[in-house]
Structure 1
Amino acid sequence: METDEQITDLIPPSEEELREMQLEYEKMKKQQQEIESLQKFQFFKKSQVDLSRFVTRDTAQTITGTKTFTQPIVANSFIKTDGTQNQILLANGGTSDVGDFLPKHYPHAMEQMIIEPDNDIRCNTDPTDTDGVWKMGSTSSQFRIQKQEDQAYDYKGLIIDFDCTSLKFNNLLVAPLPTPPVEQAIKQSLVHGMYESFAWGQVTTYNGRAYISMQVTHSNPNTSSSSTYTLFSIFKDEAKPQFTGATFTIALNAVMYVTKQSSNPILWTNAVPIDCYIDVDGHVRINTLCQLPLPNDFCVQVCDSYALHNQST
């Protein structure tokens, strides 16, 4: 009753309101149709889909288009069509021979030569050719230009030793290579005391050593010495013994003669072996150990050699 009264009290819509309601209805109906249309095509039948146009996970496929990836690609391997095991795939898509990157492990072609793993230069670009091939390189601290036959070096060719002092051809010594002397005949660089004179001889340096062959005469009517006596000194620094570390004296062979036979300045008798050495300052001295009472007149002959460069232990 109260409800019926409310219904009977409704006011009918105007024509304008009816038109607005009709438009709203048509709009909602259209949206519903669009939704139903989308739902209808959400799923496809297998017969309606060409899988060759999609990337799948379980089949081998060839992608002909260009694909751009913004994240790293991780795979067990990347294989280039028509690629070989001697090629490296470059970042720009090209390839390069592996020998251009790994000459230490693969032969590196240089026209008619290749650098092999052992650093030899092979004068033949065919790695299968092992008979009568010329090679150039360094083995056993020697420089070699030799023939190679059956993977082994032959004795035919040239060999220069590590110190560059000898040359061999076909394993026969041609000649020691001459070594220029460090110094020669430096007698003018020797000095002696007022009572000494040089009878004969000289000091020369050659190939890292100094060679002494000298006869020194002494004459002093007032000689009174039984201790170390300096015969002469080497003035030139290049001929003095040099040391790495602590210095020491170098013993030399020497003989003293105490009797003069005639007016000939080199003829003396009564030989007495006597200690002799040279020190870092180039002084050649005698009688340090023997402590003999030296006569007024005597002659000392020194014949020996010593290394110019010495190392302390």
Structure 2
Amino acid sequence: MNTSPPLRSTDLVDGTSMKGPVYPNWYRVLKLAPSPHLTDQDVHVAFLAESAYHHPDDHPPGSRARARAEAYSKLIRQAYEVLRTKESRARYDHLKTRIASEKDQLHNRAKVLAEGWLKRIEAETQSAEEQATSSLAKERLDAFFRTDAQLRSRHPTLPTPTREQVQRFFEAESERRRAQVVRDRAAHRTALELMIRAEFERRAAGMPVDERRVRWQRGRDAFGQVSQNRKKVDAELGQQAWEVALSKFFAELMSHHQHDHRCASPAPSKTAQGSTAPVLSENARPNEKFTPPVPSTRVV
């Protein structure tokens, strides 16, 4: 007895026509591989095997399993009617090819529309984003030199970062931000493509205009909310990455300074007992560990 639930028709979707309903993959229903060498006898044998495997009489009357088996048996019969002859298989194969072509056209059109929509959104928000980026860059530049001043007040002999060091640091920060913009744009493009493709499919299915408008507006509202949430999360992650990079920069600067200072220290002096004692500079403390100061103002 077959106790496993049969496949649902929605699991067998192969594609949708722009002018028709969803078409199941009839080859899959009969567990057949599409092939020009497939014979009528092969189809008949597969039909008998699947009919026996999913026979409703294998399940108790009135049970859900029996109801599912009865529904799936109808699909098996439909699959057999479609594939039973060479001519009917040829018609079905042609239909599948046309459906796949229309589906590819739908996806390509969705990509084009999504790209155009994304460019319009970027054009509308470009001025505000440029202003926000400029403001953020200024705040982070101030934070950089504020951190440098705080560290120098604790370690007066610490050398000033060179122009090249500062330039490399901010070039790396700019590259990280550019990469984030590219990732955000790709995520927006994907979401827009899904929205547009869903609208095309609703049109193809003949959904009433009013219902399509409601669903489209819901999709836009959801897209806007997700976009806002993503921006907030990205800003927080970007701030964390900035703080880590800032701390790492000054930690390396301090480490190099301490190394150079140790190399330049005079030889240790002899104590009364003949042992050696380290000579500490005026600002040095034994076993001192550097903890970079955190910028006093978070920049989001």
What range is the shorter-chain TM-score in? Answer: under 0.3
Larger helix proportion, structure 1 or 2?
2
Query: Structure 1-normalised TM-score?
Result: 0.18
Larger radius of gyration: 1
The structure showing larger relative contact order (alpha-carbon pairs under 8 Å, at least 6 residues apart) is 2
Larger strand proportion, structure 1 or 2?
1
Query: Structure 2-normalised TM-score?
Result: 0.19
